[in-house]
Amino acid sequence: MAAAKNELATMESFKIVTGMEAMDEDLRAELEDELGDLDDDGGIDAKRIKIPSGGGKAFEVETDDPDDPEVMKEVSGVIIFTHRMNAYWSQKLGEAGDDGDTSKIPDCSSMDGKQGLNRITGEIRTCDTCPYNQFGTDSKGKGKACKNTRRLYIMMDGRPDIYLLTVPPTSIRDINKALKKIMGQQHIPYSHMVVTFKLTTSENGDGIKFSKVTLEKKGVLPSDVYAKTAELRKAMKQSYESVAITTDDYKEAAPMEATPEVGPDGFMQTGDIQDGELPFD
């Protein structure tokens, strides 16, 4: 039966797999038991989906060979979990910071976009009121010195891996609006639906081209599949805070943050860009 207008079709063929489905039960139990003997590194083990520089329209999806990524013009899958993330580096990429550190680790970071921890001083700051999280504080006096992003953890059809897509500041608003529309109007949790990510070419105020991430609805998961994704989301939410933030999360992003729009009343409409909010945390 065809889906009604604006109704998402159920994707009966979409599969969430672990890679152990066809394994002998005794061997599977033994393998899982022995994996439990190893050290738990914590966090979420995910392969990265990278956004190209210069306005490219194809993602680079990490494979088992880090030197041979899979090039994909579209990425379709289920968002298992998502969270806001802020990161501030006092130095430019590759330069040493005030403490001489040239690592990829930010000086201050927040895994929820609400409270940040300065790794040098140990100070905890509220992100909304932090001076580095205000427009006009970057090197060009337009964007923010603190980089606001959103992490999306995705599973694709028939693939046992979890994939991490970090949405840059210039794409957050569009991703938010697309998900709010689907979730708000059709009342479908994000972990119950299949979406497609694409890239379009845009240009900032300085004429520099960059890639913008877009999202389109594709379909709804069958009930037996979204029962699995709902459980995966709960488990993932318990462990995400121990995932490290590095410059890898931001260096593929747009060359500068989007300049806030000015409304008819003359005030800057910063909410959509600044907060990176979705109808979930």
> Model confidence over 255-271: pLDDT tens digits?
444 433 333 333 323 33
- Whether residue 213 lies inside any domain: the answer is yes
Mean pLDDT confidence for 52-65: 91
pLDDT of residue 153: 93
- Whether residue 131 lies inside any domain: the answer is no
- Whether residue 167 lies inside any domain: the answer is yes
- Whether residue 221 lies inside any domain: the answer is yes
This model's pTM is above 0.85: no
Domain containing residue 219: 43-84+149-254+267-275
pLDDT of residue 276: 40
Q: Lowest-pLDDT range, 126-135, 187-196, 229-238?
A: 229-238
Looking at the structure of the chain, the number of domains it has is: 1
- Whether residue 140 lies inside any domain: the answer is no
Q: What is the rounded distance in angstroms from the CA atom of residue 266 to the CA atom of residue 230?
A: 43
pLDDT of residue 20: 63
Q: Band the pLDDT of 6: cuts 50, 70, 90.
A: low
> pLDDT > 90: what percent of the chain?
26
- Whether residue 126 lies inside any domain: the answer is no
Q: What does the pLDDT look like over 84-123, one tens digit per residue?
A: 889 998 877 556 555 555 557 889 999 888 999 998 888 9
> pLDDT > 70: what percent of the chain?
72
Sign of CA dihedral 140, 141, 147, 152: negative
Residue 76 token pair: 């379709």
- Whether residue 51 lies inside any domain: the answer is yes
User: Measured between alpha carbons, how far is residue 212 from residues 78, 116, 151, 159, 252 in Å?
Assistant: 20, 26, 15, 25, 11
- Whether residue 243 lies inside any domain: the answer is yes
pLDDT of residue 98: 54
pLDDT of residue 51: 92
Q: Which residue has the tokens 């969270």?
A: 83
Q: What is the rounded distance in angstroms from the CA atom of residue 90 to the CA atom of residue 113?
A: 18
